[in-house]
Amino acid sequence: MTALPLIHDQVRACTRCELARTRTRAVPGEGPADAEVMFIGEGPGFNEDQQGRPFVGQAGKLLDQLIELAGLRRQDVFITNIVKCRPPGNRDPLPNEIEACSGYLTGQLETIAPRIVVTLGRYSMARFFPGQTISRIHGHSEVIGNVTYMAMYHPAAALRQQALRQAIEADFRKLGEIIAALGEPGEAESAPKPTAQTEQLRLM
Ligand code: URA
Ligand code: SF4
């Protein structure tokens, strides 16, 4: 298995798609290598491209608040994107770019092995919930093997539309409940369910 720093070095040097030519900095993602929860956005925007870090602009500020609503702390979760380099002018990532970049996300998923994967927006949703629409499945979760997958609206969309803001807040509260109900890895099903607050401490 490839260690996370090695994957991230490969991303920073990557020229597998056209986005390499216009990026300032690649944005591999950040968070602990043993994070329990992984968030996957769309692609870096202006600020992320400048700083080489995911979700540091306006959408990132909202994501920070939402992460707290779920009883989590940003420093405990892993945050990345479906493409690691900024599409020029914040255009949507193209299918060939998503495909070219896909192996890095696969490597991150294998190495980090999160218990919960949260998709933010349509492009990351499409990888785990193919053929679905975000308006239909936002806030729904699906358990496959040991991993719970949950689709959310993109925080940037929630900044533009008040109705989506309320939906995404409710969905993140639900995420907190799901995390609390999961308990410790390997914990017996019958064990008392921890609250979001106690689970937050356990996830550290
Ligand atoms: N939007 C995204 O999808 N990803 C980021 O990292 C920032 C904004
Ligand atoms: Fe490589 Fe992904 Fe960046 Fe394209 S977006 S250059 S595949 S790291």
Does 55 fall in a domain?
Answer: yes
Does 37 fall in a domain?
Answer: yes
Residue 16 CB less than 6 A away from ligand 2: yes
Does 143 fall in a domain?
Answer: yes
Q: How far is the CA of 27 from the centre of ligand 1 (A)?
A: 10
Q: How many domains does the chain have?
A: 1
Does 196 fall in a domain?
Answer: no
- The arithmetic mean of pLDDT across residues 94-112, rounded, is 98
Enumerate long-range contacts of 126-129, CB under 8 Å, 24 or more apart: 127/40, 127/82, 127/102
- What atom of ligand 2 comes closest to residue 97's alpha carbon? 4
Does 190 fall in a domain?
Answer: no
Question: pLDDT tens, 144-186?
Answer: 999 999 999 999 999 999 999 999 999 999 999 999 999 876 6
Does 191 fall in a domain?
Answer: no
Does 33 fall in a domain?
Answer: yes
pTM across the whole model: 0.90
Does 116 fall in a domain?
Answer: yes
Structural domain boundaries, residue 130: 8-183
Question: pLDDT tens, 110-134?
Answer: 999 999 999 999 999 999 999 999 9
- CATH at 22: 3.40.470.10
